[in-house]
Amino acid sequence: MKKEEENGRIEYAARQEGITNAVHDILTFIGEDPDRDGLRRTPERIARMYDEILAGYNTDPQAMINDALFDVEYDEMIVVKDIEFFSMCEHHMLPFLGRAHVAYIPRDKVIGLSKIPRIVEMFARRLQVQERMTQQIADLLNDSLRPQGVGVVVEASHMCAMMRGVKKEHASMVTSAMLGRFKSDARTRNEFMQLLNRRSATII
């Protein structure tokens, strides 16, 4: 374990140094002075920021969920709505953010409630496109649980469309991935969509 920890520290330090040097060069090439007061520590800050917002690369999905699978006798739809996420577009490295809605119908296992938002976060904290992230969430749940079906809907706003290009401030994107009964059975799919459109009741 000590050897692995030492290797991890060396890898982290090398990664931080590489990002820091690259950001220093970018600041120079855009015409800034990376040594002026306001920017002197910016490369180090960005390196630390990337380590946080792109932490999904360092997460083992199976290790994360294997201790949270439980045998049950339950075969009705389970839905986790309004999972907030932030991600980074791989085309322009600008943020996109929104909400994910995840549903599945168990066959003989369920997953701990907190793991579904963690799965969303793991895939979001990578350079991404929304379409792939949506499919990755569905595929991991499907592979891990072998349920009767999985449905994922993701709604997001993309800074690359708001700040540059078409500059459409209020445009949003909706993607979905439907597997098993969610794909083959229109009634199951419609039930999921109706549950998403239903306003949550206030719990006192």
pLDDT in tens, 174-191: 999 999 999 999 999 999
> Active-site residue among 24, 89, 121, 135?
89
Residue 37, domain member (yes or no):
yes
The answer to whether 170 is a known catalytic residue is no
Task: Name the domain count of the chain.
Answer: 2
**Residue-level pLDDT at 30:** 96
The verdict on 114 and 170 lying in the same domain is: yes
Q: DSSP readout, 127-186?
A: EE-HHHHHHHHHHHHHHHH--SEEEEEEEEEEHHHHSSTT--TT--EEEEEEEEHHHH-H
Model confidence pLDDT, tens digit, residues 41-62: 999 999 999 999 999 999 999 8
Placement of tokens 């009964």 in the chain? 181
- Say if residue 103's pLDDT is above 80: yes
Structural domain harbouring 16: 2-53
**Residue-level pLDDT at 201:** 42
Q: What is the CATH number of the domain that holds 68?
A: 3.30.1130.10
The answer to whether 24 is a known catalytic residue is no
Determine the residue type at 40.
R
Q: 76 with 155: CB under 8 angstroms? A: no
Identify the domain boundary among 53, 76, 94: 53
> Does pTM top 0.85 for this prediction?
yes
Stretch among 36-40, 140-144, 182-186, 195-199 having the lowest mean pLDDT: 195-199
Give residues with Cβ within 8 angstroms of 15, minimum separation 6.
Answer: 47, 51
**Mean pLDDT value across residues 121-145:** 97
Cα angle 124, 129, 135; round to 5 = 75
**Residue-level pLDDT at 200:** 52
The answer to whether 148 is a known catalytic residue is no
**Own/partner pairs for 183-190, CB < 8 Å, 24+ apart?**
183/149, 184/149, 185/149, 188/77, 188/105, 188/149, 188/151, 189/151
